[in-house]
Amino acid sequence: MALLSESDRQAVRARLAGITEQVTLLFFSQTFGAPETVLIAKQVLDEVVSLGDRVTLDEANLILDKDRAAQYGITDIPAVVLLRNGEDTRMRFLGAPAGYEFMSLIEAVVLAGTKDSGLAPASRTAIAELTEPVDIKVFVTPSCPHCPRAVTLAHRMAVESPNVQATCVEATEFMDLAQQYRVTGVPKTIVEGTPVEILGAVPEDAFVGTIVKAFQPKAPDVATDQSSRN
């Protein structure tokens, strides 16, 4: 049974019609002991595949396909990795992309299928300065209407730079991660290995600028530098 109304299906089909590259939704699950959200995620992915001529689904078992899971850094399920012509786009979903995050998934498919990040020129210039790995996680909930904006911005950065990986994490499904990163509200964006925490759905320039700034060389402290010379 279709998850969407016929009018919504037509809207999604029209959105996916502009895709020019082959997009694969690599779905990690397992047969035994899987959470109920695995079934929800599978239903969502099947719906998307039915609406996009260039979108296919590839299923992998987290336990049996250990090498493949390790290749993409997948350790939990349900998880989705987006591939473009078989190549990793570094866009991820951890948890079922349901509720408002369904549109985040659609936008990610479009990003994967068109190769264009859609970011402003200033953002592209700033992101080009990133020369080391950047691991972005955006914590969301299905009922948050503001979360898709943050998720899509993070995914746009992944499309723009081969150094960026961006994962949408469903906070209520992965409470251990939510507690680890002190998530008390969503969307909350964190960048591994940095003190960056972006709360809420902020404008593109603020989102990109905050993340890029965390990887810029720190200016030397003038007082400390003078003291070392004395």
Contacts of 218 (CB under 8 A, 6+ apart): none
User: Is there a domain that residue 222 lies in?
Assistant: no
Looking at the structure, tell me whether residues 50 and 68 fall in a common domain: yes
Please identify, among 68, 91, 115, the residue that sits at the C-terminal boundary of a domain: 115
Regarding whether 136 and 80 lie in a shared domain, the answer is: no
Amino acid at the residue 220: P
In a domain, 8, yes or no: yes
Return the half-sphere exposure (C-beta side, CA atoms, 13 A cut-off) of residue 50. Answer: 14
220 lies in some domain: no
- 130/210 same-domain check: yes
Residue 217 has what pLDDT? Answer: 81
Element (H, E) at 121: helix 121-127
Task: Specify the pTM.
Answer: 0.92
Q: Please indicate whether residue 224 or residue 41 has the higher confidence score (pLDDT).
A: 41
- Confidence check: pLDDT of 228 > 80: no
Kindly tell me if the per-residue pLDDT of 123 is higher than 80.
Answer: yes
Query: Which CATH number is 132's domain given?
Result: 3.40.30.10
Domain identity same for 106 and 128: no
Model confidence over 151-182: pLDDT tens digits?
A: 999 999 999 999 999 999 999 999 999 999 99
- Read off the pLDDT band of 31 (50, 70, 90): confident
Same domain, 83 and 184: no
Are 78 and 144 found together in one domain? no
Domain assignment present for residue 230? The answer is no
Residues 3 and 111 in one domain: yes
**In a shared domain, residues 127 and 110:** no
* Residue tagged 């251990």 (tokens): 176
Structural domain count, the chain: 2
* Domain encompassing residue 66: 1-115
Q: Are 167 and 138 in contact (CB under 8 A)?
A: yes
**For 36, which DSSP code?**
T
Q: Which of 56, 81, 115 is the last residue of a domain?
A: 115
Query: Is 100 domain-assigned?
Result: yes
Which residue in 89, 86, 119 sits closest to 105, CA to CA? 89
Compute the distance between CA of residue 31 and CA of residue 6 in angstroms, rounded to an integer: 32
Give phi and psi for 28, each to the nearest 5: -100, 125
In a domain, 223, yes or no: no
